[in-house]
Structure 1
Amino acid sequence: MRYIVIGAGAVGGTIGARLHQGGHDVVLVARGAHYEALKRDGLRLITPESDETLHIPTAPGPIPTRDDDVLILATKSQDTLAALAPWPVDVPVVCAQNGVANERTVLRKFERVYGMCVWLPAEHLEPGVVVAYARPYSGLLHVGRYPQGVDDLAGQIADDLGKYGLLARATPDVMRWKHGKLLNNLGNAVEALAGHADGMYALIERARAEAVRVFDHVGIPYSTAEDEQRVRGHQVDVVPVEGVERGGGSSWQSLARGSGSIEADYLNGEIVLLGREHGVPTPVNEVLRREADRHAREKLPPGSMPVEKLAALIDARSAAESR
């Protein structure tokens, strides 16, 4: 089986590298300076244990597909439709992305869609370079057929992923895990806006508590921190990488790269959407979504909003909605 990784950044680059190291046929799809660096020099994968350069076939866009191909989509959610538009619809797609909206979006066009819940702390800020911060495994990946279930292909994908440097599980309730991961990702906007300032964790907890109220009201199942700890244990522990200063998560990296867009509409915005559909106020996540979008649009650097200002905006919105 050949794996075509669309979006060879932090997550996609690490998954593609580990599949390649496990002996699998892999093609990385990247754009711009990152593609040029991968094509010219290979992918430099830095981990707590090693610093390796891997020469993996790379393409700037669609390539002719084979019957045994699987697309692993690792772009940001806002890029899903554009990234998949050129590819034939008979190829299975694995959504290795944050949020819970991608699978349903992809299913409108592609018949075979798989969800992947990704716990993989990594960073991509320099063309051709990916840093993966966890050990002894780089990540834990749950894979399942969307909307639910496990079939032979899901099992094979999980087996292939688990051959080198990753933990992977074929999971029938993959969307329950992805909703649990979404609760964690609500803090991405706080980190991107305010950095690691005192007071950030209080705002993150407010965003999560608000989301839990929405999930419980709607009846959406989600994995818990206890579920994660039970499965993950100390198999994917984040540790410092010598010579590398760690920045932040995926949204922080979007602002750091000045990409002009951010994933908040599909993270905090998912909670806002559900709240609007079901009449549950979501002022915390609405402010985080709005401000993250603005900072990305204006290409402001990460950590440029004082946490006190962000908290004040949230308090004002909460007060207005409670009147």
Structure 2
Amino acid sequence: MRVAVLGAGAIGAYVGAALHRGGADVHLVARGPHLAAMREHGVRVLSPRGDFTARPHVTDDPAEVGPVDYVFLGLKAHSYPGCGPLVAPLLGPETALVAAQNGIPWWYFHGLDGHPLAGRRVETVDPGGATSAVLAVERAVGCVVYCSTVIEEPGVIRHLEGTRFSLGEPAGGRSARCLALAEAMVAGGLKAPVEPNLRDDIWVKLMGNVAFNPLSALTRATMAQMCEHDDTRALVATMMTETLAIARAAGADPQVSVAKRIDGAWRVGHHKTSMLQDLEAGKPLEIDAIIGAVVELAALTGVPAPALRHVHAAIGLLNHTATAVPVG
């Protein structure tokens, strides 16, 4: 099995190292000091499950790799429309694109037969079809990541918790390509259940991300701080309730209560969300897939979502002002 990891950052390099350890032919596509360190020393993984080092092929040029069986997308979702030149050299006739992204994927309504919105494009994450033009929905394999990693230093990945990467086809079922990838991931020490209804998993994770990510960036608060502040906790609950209603109108049925989801977030403790970390690092915020697409789906399905709309407006302005060039 040949696997290319496009965007071998914290999650991508960890997955690539695990797959390589399990026997897959892995190629990491990265850049900068991280690329140089992995080329020289391999990928060092520091984990409570045991440290290890893997030495897959590392490059900044996908053309060196050529067609593979799977492309694992470790990029942020807002990078997808512009990733065509990087993806194209990796594609063969049967290459699958494994999208390990947060939020609503560009393929969401693909394969959702019988739903009134089946085949509909989600403009927020596929503007004008720009994403699906370079990442064909027929190639897509969904992936919901329940794993936390950070780049401790170039070439060194610290695995904090979780090894689960739920896989699934947009059309549902348990395909041969999903089962083969799951087997390779398990061989490398990961958990990779193939879910017949992956959209349910997407929404369970998104219930947390849609509320905690933007609110953390707006308030600079940790998970625990948001859960322990009564008014913010109430706002989180309202946003999650709206999200559940949208999920059910959009063809999913996530089986988790709002109270349980908030309690799980509180147990994480004083953790900074990825959106807050991006804000502090001066990076663009991953708004579109995490909350923008949810607001779009609310409009498409006719579900009222005033709390989500208001928070979406505020985080959008923050993203603009935080990345704007100062005037005068």
For the 8 Å contact 2:35–2:155, the answer to whether it is kept is yes
Report 1:219-258 matches (<5 A): 219-225=250-256, 247-258=271-282
1:207 paired to 2:239: yes
CA distance in 2, matches of 1:292, 1:46: 34
Report 1:79-98 matches (<5 A): 79-88=79-88, 89=91, 90=93, 91-98=95-102
> Aligned to 2:105, which of 101, 115, 120?
101
Q: Deviations for 1:142-175, whole angstroms, at most 9, x for unmatched residues?
A: 2122232322111100111111321111222122
Q: Which residue of 1 aligns with 2:309?
A: 286
299 and 23 in structure 1: CA distance in 2 versus 1, 3 angstrom threshold: farther
- Which ranges in structure 2 are unaligned for 5 or more consecutive residues? 109-125, 261-266, 324-328
Q: Which residue of 1 aligns with 2:208?
A: 184
Q: Deviations for 1:37-83, whole angstroms, at most 9, x for unmatched residues?
A: 32344323222244444333212242355565210112111011222
CA distance in 2, matches of 1:179, 1:124: 27
206 and 124 in structure 1: CA distance in 2 versus 1, 3 angstrom threshold: farther
Displacement after TM superposition at 1:225 (Å): 3.1
Displacement after TM superposition at 1:299 (Å): 4.1
288 and 123 in structure 1: CA distance in 2 versus 1, 3 angstrom threshold: farther
Displacement after TM superposition at 1:272 (Å): 0.9
1:31 paired to 2:63: no
Determine helix, strand or coil for the equivalent of 2:141.
strand
1:22 paired to 2:22: yes
Q: CA RMSD in A?
A: 2.8
- For these two proteins, the number of residue pairs brought into alignment is 280
Q: Which residue of 1 aligns with 2:70?
A: 70
281 and 161 in structure 1: CA distance in 2 versus 1, 3 angstrom threshold: same
Displacement after TM superposition at 1:221 (Å): 1.1
State the AA in 1 paired with 2:251.
Answer: I
Report 1:268-307 matches (<5 A): 268-299=291-322
272 and 262 in structure 1: CA distance in 2 versus 1, 3 angstrom threshold: same
Report 1:303-322 matches (<5 A): none
Please, what TM-score do these two structures have when normalized by structure 1? 0.76
Displacement after TM superposition at 1:212 (Å): 1.4
CA distance in 2, matches of 1:239, 1:248: 10
Q: Deviations for 1:88-134, whole angstroms, at most 9, x for unmatched residues?
A: 35322111111222335565553322111211122336433322212
1:131 paired to 2:154: no
> Aligned to 1:122, which of 149, 165, 168?
149
For the 8 Å contact 1:5–1:71, the answer to whether it is kept is yes
1:169 paired to 2:200: no
For the 8 Å contact 1:22–1:163, the answer to whether it is kept is yes
Q: Which residue of 2 aligns with 1:321?
A: none
> Aligned to 1:112, which of 139, 142, 147?
139
Identity of aligned residues (%): 27
Determine helix, strand or coil for the equivalent of 1:148.
coil
Determine helix, strand or coil for the equivalent of 1:87.
helix
For the 8 Å contact 2:200–2:252, the answer to whether it is kept is yes
- Which ranges in structure 1 are unaligned for 5 or more consecutive residues? 230-237, 241-245, 301-323
Displacement after TM superposition at 1:239 (Å): 8.8
1:154 paired to 2:178: yes
